[in-house]
Structure 1
Amino acid sequence: MVTWTRITDPETVSGMLPAWLGRRMVGLRGAFGLLLTTGDVLRLTSIAAAHQSSEGLVLLDVLLDDAGVPEGIDLAWRSKHFLGSPIQGASVATVNLAQVVAAVEFTVAEMAQNPGDETVPFSDEVDVDRSEAAPEAVGGGGQLLPS
């Protein structure tokens, strides 16, 4: 007999999922999509909980977004079928994690930066001194690759 454990603690659920999926989608609201093995994209706003079976199967309780192509989406994605809430107000669903191929975010994340923060922003490139790099890190054979 298969037994199920419902997990609602965001940190525990996040730990069960791949890093990005857990950090961005569990307990937070946004505009996300799960690319399914069928090729369809399930639109959702959040992952609310997880269910783990005694056999290791993981189901996700999600809050559905409206169906249809998200505004401003790249042309390559437009041919996908975008699933969402089947009727107004029916926004809860359960998804088998094994059927998820990829997760995407449909909004542009803006990185907040404090004026006194001395860390390197994500948009800056790190300049690596190639002369000190190991041969296998620069293309093998000890030769540097052209920039």
Structure 2
Amino acid sequence: MARTSVHIAALIAASCAFACHAGAEELRHYNVAGDGIAESLTGAPGDAARGRALVLARTTTCILCHSGPFPETRFQGDLAPDLSGAGNRWTVSQLRLRLVDAARFNPKTIMPSYYRTDHLVRVGRNFVGKPILSAAEIEDIVAFLATLRD
């Protein structure tokens, strides 16, 4: 089955419509240094167990595109890098920036910028100005991905 960027973007947009957890939260300021965001968005480390649950939740869309060491999860994605070994490939600050604003690494990426609200396209009227994930959810996912070592 051929997959196009338009179909994938539509799938992600539809999923994001259900996943917008952070609607009431104001974006917290962060500093990008080099290829990462060194400081936690919340000022504290995330919870890896909650992060794992978020990665596997279909509503966050991670598992729709990525696969990983999740034998209990059927129908993992194959459009994006396997998450196995993510903690070896990227630092915590690099992981954080990839979640916050994936377009910094590849302007044509289909991965949503989960903690950005500006310069986006095809944003539903109810979601304008709202990040897809909260700062705490970003930190939880970062904490989990950092544990994924080969």
TMscore range, shorter length: under 0.3
TM-score (norm 1): 0.22
Which of structures 1 and 2 has the bigger CA Rg? 1
Question: Whose strand proportion is higher, 1 or 2?
Answer: 1
- Using CA pairs under 8 Å that are at least 6 residues apart, name the structure with larger relative contact order, 1 or 2: 2
TM-score (norm 2): 0.22
Question: Whose helix proportion is higher, 1 or 2?
Answer: 2
